[in-house]
Amino acid sequence: MQSRSEYNQSENSMRVVEFCHVLLDKLPEGVFVHAEGSIVYANGIAAKIIGAHAPMELFGEPLTTFFPPDSWKRIQESIASDTSHQNSGWPAEMEMVRLDNRKVVIESLTVSLEWNTRSVLCTTFRDISHRKETEERIRHQANYDNLTRLPNRALFMDLLSRELVRAKRTKSRVALMFIDLDRFKWVNDTLGHAAGDQLLREVSKRLKDSLRQSDTVARMGGDEFTAILPDMARGPHAERVAAEILRQLNEPFILEGQEAFISGSLGISVFPDDANELETLLKNADTAMYRAKADGRNGYRFFTADMHAEALERMELEKDLHRALGRGELMIHYQPIVSLTSGKIVGAESFLRWIHPRRGNISPAVFVPLAEEIGMIAEFTEWAIRTACSQAQVWRKAFSLESFFISVNLSCTRCRELSTDDKIPEILQETGLPPTSLVLEITENILSEDEARAMAMLKRLVAIGVNIWLDDFGTGSSSLSVLKRLPVNGIKIDRAFVADNNSDPETVVLVEAIMSLAKSLKRMVIGEGVENLRQADFLMKRGCPMAQGYLFSRPLQAEEFSKIIATVYPLA
């Protein structure tokens, strides 16, 4: 018979056990007690996390039902080999498979216990899936471009660094591509930023389709992309990849329901041939890409040693160009436009010149494209128009030349901007030059990027009285087709077609055809590049009213030009 003391001890033990059950069920974490790979106890939170209706459902279940075998194998090996954690336990982070087969991530702590002379393990754990998802989202945002889902610059630099370490170890080569989209700004300006974003997403897909599984493509920012091509040196393999990328970019894009065409310029540098470290390798690929752009775009170029010297030269020139206007290095030269019937100066064409203090006269063919690339052409063109208009008004007043006009070349880039900021009417008002005394010379390429916008701007200028001349007429494939559509009132015959009676018959016929076409469309004709009296006589006999060229004068600074006018129109 059980004594009262033994009864009280047994009752106390039951109460302690009952209290422990209540306590474990109140814990904010799940609890498993398990032995020999099977669950012998689970609390309510454990059942909830694992998707069971009640803890009893889990008793006797093997741990491998809910966890990958390797997870517990690692913990058991740690317990067996390391006794230093007996008091602190063995932490782990692992994946759990719930009863509904949904996977969650748990953070656990396992301790070894002695229970009724039996060794058991007690694991407390919590569901950290939401935290892991948040961490992964933050990690992804830090390493991937939100728009294209491609690696961003930070991740790209890390991946390239690792790839170069591997290449050094394996003595292999790595090709690095720098890819820049041609005409991306046009898409943004014409179709809007939504279309631009759509284009970047589609380009990222096409780039991935052009590369191997082992290659990496990343977005560096804006419309610039890079690609890492491991185990691919200079030669046929890299060339095939570059050609495929260009082919993909040349295919039409459907943006905001409209078909659009772009192209790409690619630069390629190879490790370790072109550089032994990351920054130089990337800089060399960028340099090669700029060479591809300079050579006409829609192409690729491998980096070569001479490009480095050219890149340094270009960097110096770019730095100087930024300061040219402020330092007074830019100036305007003027070439007279002469009436072939009276022989008098009726106007002048203005030419932008850069007189560098060390390099001397730098050709516009060099600095104008550079100004367009670095975003300074707008400032330069506005300054050139204002300066030319101001000077023309000075001559008009000084020599009482009511019909004197000034012509200025208008770049396509600046043309788009002028349609929105109203600069030309503002300049005319500031300088006092009548709109009819300003001639803007354009080329047919003005329609190549944004025809609707360019046409609207030209019509607006014509409406206020500005004259529009089509320059370099006859040199492009579409000159005749655009002449009827463009709101121009004059065409300049390119110097290549300025003929005389001794020219070949085909040139003579072509010039006569141009003049006949201009007359039928009521367009004025101006001959340029006239160098001798025979050419002037040829043009005059065929009804060309005005001409310019070295026969009359080379382009001159304003002071020298004033002297020429003074000889024809002496001051009153």
Distance CA 232, CA 383 (A): 49
114 and 67 in a single domain? The answer is yes
Confidence tier at 121 by pLDDT (50, 70, 90): confident
Q: Which long-range contacts (CB under 8 A, 24 or more apart) does 358-366 make?
A: 362/317, 366/317
Residue with tokens 């003579």: 508
Helix (H) / strand (E) element for 134: namely helix 129-143
pLDDT at residue number 33: 87
139 domain-assigned: no
Confidence tier at 327 by pLDDT (50, 70, 90): very high
Nearest to 157 by CA among 330, 323, 283: 283
Mean pLDDT (whole number) for 202-216? 91
Tokens coding 518: 């201009």
Confidence tier at 268 by pLDDT (50, 70, 90): very high
The CATH number of residue 455's host domain is: 3.20.20.450
351 and 468 in a single domain? The answer is yes
Classify each residue of 421-431 as buried b or exposed e, where b means 16 or more C-beta atoms within 10 Å of its C-beta. eebbeebbeeb
Mean pLDDT (whole number) for 325-349? 94
Of residues 296 and 7, the one with the higher pLDDT is 296
- Answer with the one of 91, 109, 132 that is the final residue of a domain: 132
223 and 323 in a single domain? The answer is no
95 and 154 in a single domain? The answer is no
Q: Of the given ranges (338-347, 430-439, 500-509), which has the lowest mean pLDDT?
A: 500-509
Q: How many domains, the chain?
A: 3
pLDDT at residue number 95: 87
Mean pLDDT (whole number) for 516-537? 88
Q: Tell me what percent of the residues of the chain surpass a pLDDT of 70.
A: 87
Distance CA 263, CA 248 (A): 9
340 and 413 in a single domain? The answer is yes
- Give the tens place of pLDDT for each residue, 58-82: 888 888 888 877 777 776 776 666 6
| Mean pLDDT, the chain, integer | 84
The CATH number of residue 191's host domain is: 3.30.70.270
310 domain-assigned: no
Q: Do residues 412 and 446 touch, judged by C-beta distance below 8 A?
A: yes
pLDDT at residue number 450: 66
Q: Above 90 in pLDDT, residue 237?
A: no
pLDDT at residue number 386: 94
472 and 348 in a single domain? The answer is yes
Q: Of the given ranges (283-292, 309-318, 323-332, 448-457), which has the lowest mean pLDDT?
A: 448-457
Mean pLDDT (whole number) for 542-556? 92
The strand pair at 253-255 and 30-35 is best described as unpaired
Mean pLDDT (whole number) for 382-398? 94
Q: Above 80 in pLDDT, residue 538?
A: yes
292 and 330 in a single domain? The answer is no
308 domain-assigned: no
User: Which stretches of 231-359 are assigned E, i.e. beta strand?
Assistant: 253-255, 258-260, 263-271, 299-302, 330-339, 345-356
Mean pLDDT (whole number) for 189-198? 86
35 and 156 in a single domain? The answer is no
Distance of CA 141 to the CA centre of its chain: 20
Mean pLDDT (whole number) for 500-520? 78
pLDDT at residue number 139: 78
pLDDT at residue number 479: 55
User: Which stretches of 173-278 are assigned E, i.e. beta strand?
Assistant: 174-182, 216-221, 224-230, 253-255, 258-260, 263-271
- Answer with the one of 275, 303, 331 that is the final residue of a domain: 303
- Give the tens place of pLDDT for each residue, 10-32: 444 445 445 456 666 667 888 98
137 domain-assigned: no
312 domain-assigned: no
Q: Do residues 124 and 31 touch, judged by C-beta distance below 8 A?
A: yes
158 and 283 in a single domain? The answer is yes
122 and 185 in a single domain? The answer is no
**Boundaries of domain holding 280:** 144-303
- Give the tens place of pLDDT for each residue, 454-499: 788 888 899 999 999 988 776 654 456 677 778 899 988 877 777 6
429 domain-assigned: yes
Confidence tier at 384 by pLDDT (50, 70, 90): very high
Confidence tier at 9 by pLDDT (50, 70, 90): very low
Of residues 243 and 73, the one with the higher pLDDT is 243
pLDDT at residue number 2: 46
- Answer with the one of 237, 272, 303 that is the final residue of a domain: 303
309 domain-assigned: no
Confidence tier at 571 by pLDDT (50, 70, 90): low
329 φ, ψ to 5°?
-85, -15
Angle between helices 193-210 and 236-250 (to 10 degrees): 150
Q: Do residues 206 and 154 touch, judged by C-beta distance below 8 A?
A: no
331 domain-assigned: yes
Alpha-carbon torsion 107, 112, 115, 118, what sign? Answer: positive
Q: Enter the pTM of the model.
A: 0.60
Helix (H) / strand (E) element for 95: namely strand 90-97
231 and 365 in a single domain? The answer is no
The CATH number of residue 124's host domain is: 3.30.450.20
- Which residues have C-beta within 8 Å of that of residue 252, sequence separation ≥ 6? 259, 260, 261
Helix (H) / strand (E) element for 310: namely helix 305-324
424 and 527 in a single domain? The answer is yes
Mean pLDDT (whole number) for 111-120? 78
Q: Tell me what percent of the residues of the chain surpass a pLDDT of 90.
A: 36
